[in-house]
Chains A and B, each alone.
Chain A
Amino acid sequence: MWLKFEQRPEPSKVMTYLSPLLAVGLMFLSGLILFLVLGKSPVEGFKVFFLNPLRDSYGVAELFLKATPLMLCAVGLSVGFKANVWNIGAEGQLLIGALAGGWLALHFEGSTSRLLLPGMIVAGALGGMAWAAIPAFLRTRFNANEILTSLMLVYVAELMVSWLVHGPWKDPDGFNFPQTKLFSATATLPLLLAGTRVNVALIFAIGALVVGWIFMNRSFMGYQMKVAGQAEFAGRYAGFSAKRSVWIGMLAGGAMAGVAGISEVAGPIGQITEHISPGYGFAAMIVAFVGRLSPIGIFFSSLLMALLYMGGEQAQQYLNLPSSISKVFQGMLLFFLLGSDVFINFRPRLVRRRK
C-alpha cells in the first residue's frame, strides 16, 4: 500500500480553510518534538512558548502590539498577492517608512505642533511607497522581476539605516551607541491603554483591515486586480490595465509597510536604531498566506505570528534556547502550510502497489 495524490476535479473549498488550521496543528506537534530533541520537557516547552506570553493582561497587550505591524504589512501585501504581484520586500519598505517619518521627528525636534505626528505617519507611508515604486517601475517599464528587485532593495534599506545611525543621525550624547535621539513626546504615538505599550497604531491596523476588505471585496479596482491575477487574458479582454495592477499592488504593500515602520519607531522603540524590525516584513508574507489573503484571516494569523515572536523571547529567557527558535516556528508554519495546501487541489488515496 502506498499513498497517491489524485487531482480533484475542482479545488476543495473546505480544505482552503482547513489547511491553515492543519498547518498550525502540525507546527505545534513538531514544536513538541523539537523541544524533546533539545532535551526539554515538551509540556514545559509548550507552556513557556505558547501560554506564558498570555498569562496576564500586559502579555495580551504585548500580543496586540506585536501583531500591529504584521497586520499592516500583511494586508498591504495581500492586495498585491491577489493580483499576482509578488512584493517580497516589505521589510525594506518598512525601514524606509521608519526613516522617512523619523526624519521629520528629528528635524522638528522640540516642535509641539499637533501636525507633527500625522505628518510623520504620512511621511512613513510615502517613504514605503517610494521604496516599493522602484520595483514597480522596473517591472512595468523593463519587465524586471519584482520578486528579485524588491528583495534586493531590502538589503539596501538595511544598510541605509545602519549608515544613518552610525553616521549623520547618531545621537551626539548617546555614548556612541548606533541610535538617534529619542523622539519627543509630541512625536510619539499616544497609548491606548495606560500601563501597556499598545498604541494607536493598532487602530490604524484595524482600519487598514477594514479598508482592505472593502477594497478587495467591494471596489471595482479590487475586482480588476482579482481578474488580472486569475486570468490575464480576461483582464486584457476587458481592458483592465495590467500595469495599474502592478502599481497598486506594490504601492499598497509599500504604504502599509511604511506605516508599520514609522509606528514602530514612533511607538515602542521611540528612536531609530539598527534593530527596527525583527523581520516583520518577511513574517507578514507568512501571515498573509496563513490568513488566506483575506483581512479577517490576516487578523487572526497576525495574532498567531505575534505569539510566535513572544514565545521565542520566553523560550530564550526560561528555557535557554536561542532566540532564533521563533524563526524555526515561523519556518515550520510556512512549510506545513505549503504542504497542507496540496490537499486543496489533490486528494490522497491509498492504492495497492501494482507490479
Chain B
Amino acid sequence: MPTPTSDTPRLAIRGIRKVYPSVVANDGIDLTVMPGQIHAVLGENGAGKSTLMKVIYGVIRPDEGELLWEGRPVIISNPAQARSLGIGMVFQHFSLFETLTVVQNVALSIPGKLDLDPLAKRIEEVSERYGLPVDPRRMVHALSVGERQRVEIIRCLLQNPRLLILDEPTSVLTPQAVRKLFETLRQLAAEGVSILYISHKLDEIQELCHKATVLRGGKVTGTCTPAEETPQTMARMMIGVDLPACSHGEPEDGGEVRLLIQGLSHATDDPFGTDLKDIHLEVKAGEIVGIAGVSGNGQQELLRAISGEEPHADKRAVRVCGVEAGHMNAARRRGLGMCFVPEERLGRGAVPRLSLTENILLTAYRKGMLFAGLIRFGVAKRFAEECIKRFDVKCGGAHSEAKSLSGGNLQKFIVGREIMQEPKLLVLAQPTWGVDVGASSFIRQSVLDLRNSGTAVLVISEELEELFEICDRIVVIAKGTLSPSKVTSETNVEEIGMWMSGLWPGAKTQGEATHVA
C-alpha cells in the first residue's frame, strides 16, 4: 500500500460520468487535488460542478469512473463514509433541518451520542475563531440564508476534514465574512487540508485558489493557474465568448411613486429576529433603489412586510402603486402589479417537487392561465417554455421538477418568471445569487431594461458591487432601521460600507427619512 506523501494526490478522480434522463451532467471528468491545495472548479450554471462534488461526497453514484483517495481506489457510497475518510462538504442548497436548533443540526452529522452543551461551546469557539458568528441555540428556520451558510461551514470545520468541499460558500456572505473565511481557508490549506472551491465570483477565485479546473457541458475544458489569469480571461474560458457590458440608459425622472413605506415598525415574534423601526422608503417608476446591509439586520423582516408574506395591521404602512396595501397578503399585492423574487429559491420561490410549468402558476396565474377556476395548462406551459428560452434556463424542459435544476438555473427561472409578468413594481432579493457571470450580466441587463420601460425596482443585496452597478439610489439597513438614500454616483463603496455598521449622519436620532432624489 503506498504511503501518502506530499506527491500523492489527496484525491484523484478519473473518468467520472453521470447521466440524468435529460442531460449528461458529468462526462469523463478527470481532476486531481493535492494536499494543501485550494482547487477551484469553475463553470457556467448547469456545467455539472455540484453533481461532481456530490459524487465525491457519496451523495450520487457515478455511472462510470473511479476515485483515488490518497492513492487508494475507493468507492464512496454514502456521505457518512465520505466523512469517515475525512471529506467534509458544504452544500449549495442547504441541508439543515429547519425545525431543529443549530447545535442539534450539528450533532446529527457527528456519529455517536453526545452532549449538546459542550458541543454548543465548541460551536461558539469555532464560530468566533473563524469569524462566522452564529448562536448555537437558535432555530434554523429563523436564520437568514447568510447565517445558514455559516452554520454549514462551521459544521464542516468541526469535523477536522482533510478535504473540504465548498459549493458556492460565499454567495450570501458579507465582504467582511468572506475575508475572514479566506483567512481560515488559507490557514487550513497551510495545515495540509485540501479544498475544492466552487464559486461564480472570479475575483475571489483569483485571489484564493492555487489551481482551477473549468467545466463546460459536463466536460473539462481546461485548467489554469488563477493567479496568472484575469477575471475576464477566466470568464472567456467558462463561457467561450467575451462578456457583454451592461448598457444603462438614464433613470426616468419624476415617475409616480410605486412603493411607499411610511413609518413601518414591526416587532418580530422571533426572539432572534430584528425589529423594524420606523422605516420610510419610496421607490418611483423608472428607478432602481438598492438596499445594502449585512445579512440579519432586518432585511428578511422588511422583505416579508413588503411582499405581504407577513401582512401588517396598519393598512397605510405600505402602499403599492398608490393603494394602501399593508394588510394585504402576497396574492393581493401581486394583483396591484407587484412581483417579488425571494432569497430562498427552493421551497419558497419554487415548490421542489412540482414541474416548472406548475411553478409558473405559483405567481404568474394572472397571465391568462385560469378559466372558470380551472387551470389552462397549455398557457402555463407556453409561459414556462418562453421563460426557459429567454433566460437560457438549462433543464430537461417545462416538465422538469424544480429541484432537478442546478442552483443558478433555478434562480434564472424564478427571476425570469417574475420579470416576464411585466410588473409595475419589482422587488428582488439577491437577484444573482449563485448565477454565473454570463447569466448575472443578463439578469442585470433585464432589470435595467425593465426600469427603462418604467418599472420601479427595489433590490436587496449583500453584494455592494452589484448594487453600485445597477442602482440609481442606495439606502442602507442596519439594526432594523433604514438610512437616508444616496444617489449612487454621489457616494462610494467606502461610505456605504461605513453606513452598513449603522453609522450614518443622523442615525439613532430617529430622524425623519430624507429622500435625496
Contact = CB atoms under 8 A, between A and B. Distances in A.
B347 interface: yes
A221 B374 CA distance: 8
B307 A6 contact: no
Given A6-B78, A219-B374, A221-B373, A238 B347 contact: no
Contacts of B333: 239
A230 B375 contact: no
A240 B348 CA distance: 12
B330 A6 contact: no
Contacts of A7: 78
B330 A230 contact: no
Given A227-B354, A239-B332, A234 B349 contact: yes
A227 B349 CA distance: 12
A234 B347 contact: yes
Contact-residue size bin, chain B (C-beta under 8 Å from the other chain): 20 to 34
Contacts of A233: 344, 347-348
Contact of A236 (B59, B78, B330): B330
A336 B447 CA distance: 54
Contact of B373 (A10, A220, A231, A240): A220
Given A236-B330, A238-B331, A230 B309 contact: no
Nearest to A11: B353
B352 A231 contact: yes
A237 B334 CA distance: 11
Interface string B366-386: 000010011100000000000
A220 B330 CA distance: 17
A240 B331 contact: yes
B358 interface: yes
Contacts of B62: none
B62 to A, nearest CB: 12
A226 B308 CA distance: 21
A275 interface: no
B246 interface: no
Interface in A102-116: none
Contacts of B349: 234, 237
Contacts of A240: 331
Given A9-B59, A233-B347, A234-B351, A218 B375 contact: yes
A237 B358 CA distance: 15
A231 B403 CA distance: 13
B351 A227 contact: yes
Nearest to A214: B374
A166 B36 CA distance: 84
Interface in A222-254: 223, 226-227, 230-231, 233-234, 236-241
B455 to A, nearest CB: 20
Interface string B117-148: 00000000000000000000000000000000
Contacts of A223: 358, 361, 375
Interface string B295-332: 00000000000011100000000000000000001111
Given A9-B60, A233-B344, A234-B350, A239 B334 contact: yes
Interface string A177-220: 00000000000000000000000000000000000001000111
A238 B373 contact: no
Nearest to B365: A220
Nearest to A234: B351
Nearest to A7: B78
A337 to B, nearest CB: 21
B351 A220 contact: no
B463 to A, nearest CB: 22
Given A9-B60, A234-B351, A239 B330 contact: yes
Contacts of B332: 239
B100 interface: no
Q: Interface SS of chain A: helix, strand, loop or mixed? A: helix
Interface string A1-26: 00000110110000000000000000
B19 to A, nearest CB: 14
Given A218-B374, A223-B361, A239-B308, A231 B348 contact: yes
B342 interface: yes
B425 to A, nearest CB: 15
Given A219-B375, A220-B373, A227-B354, A237 B329 contact: no
B363 interface: yes
B34 to A, nearest CB: 30
A234 B307 CA distance: 12
A214 B375 CA distance: 10
A82 to B, nearest CB: 12
Contacts of B334: 239
Given A231-B347, A237-B330, A220 B352 contact: no
B307 A237 contact: yes
A238 B403 CA distance: 18
B223 interface: no
A237 B309 contact: yes
B367 to A, nearest CB: 13
A49 B352 CA distance: 44
B2 to A, nearest CB: 23
A7 B78 CA distance: 9
Nearest to A349: B77
Contacts of B351: 227, 230-231, 234
A234 B333 CA distance: 16
B309 A236 contact: yes
Contacts of B307: 237
A238 B333 CA distance: 10
Contacts of B347: 231, 233-234
B110 interface: no
A186 B342 CA distance: 60
A286 to B, nearest CB: 24
A9 B365 CA distance: 31
A275 B344 CA distance: 53
Nearest to B330: A239
A10 B363 CA distance: 26
A227 B347 CA distance: 10
A6 B76 CA distance: 13
Contacts of A226: 354
Contact of A239 (B329, B350, B354): B329
- For A227, A231, A241, the residue with the greatest tally of chain B CB atoms inside 10 Å of its CB is A231
Nearest to A6: B78
A233 B342 CA distance: 11
B23 interface: no
B348 A220 contact: no
Nearest to A229: B351
Given A220-B374, A231-B347, A238 B362 contact: yes
A6 B77 contact: yes
Contact of A227 (B362, B375, B403): B362
24 contacts: A6-B78, A220-B361, A220-B374, A221-B373, A223-B375, A227-B351, A227-B354, A230-B351, A230-B354, A231-B347, A231-B352, A233-B344, A233-B347, A234-B351, A236-B309, A236-B330, A237-B309, A237-B362, A237-B363, A238-B331, A238-B362, A239-B331, A239-B333, A239-B334
Given A230-B354, A237-B363, 12 more contacts: A9-B59, A9-B60, A218-B375, A223-B358, A230-B353, A233-B347, A234-B349, A234-B351, A236-B309, A237-B307, A237-B342, A239-B333
Interface of A: 6-7, 9-10, 214, 218-221, 223, 226-227, 230-231, 233-234, 236-241
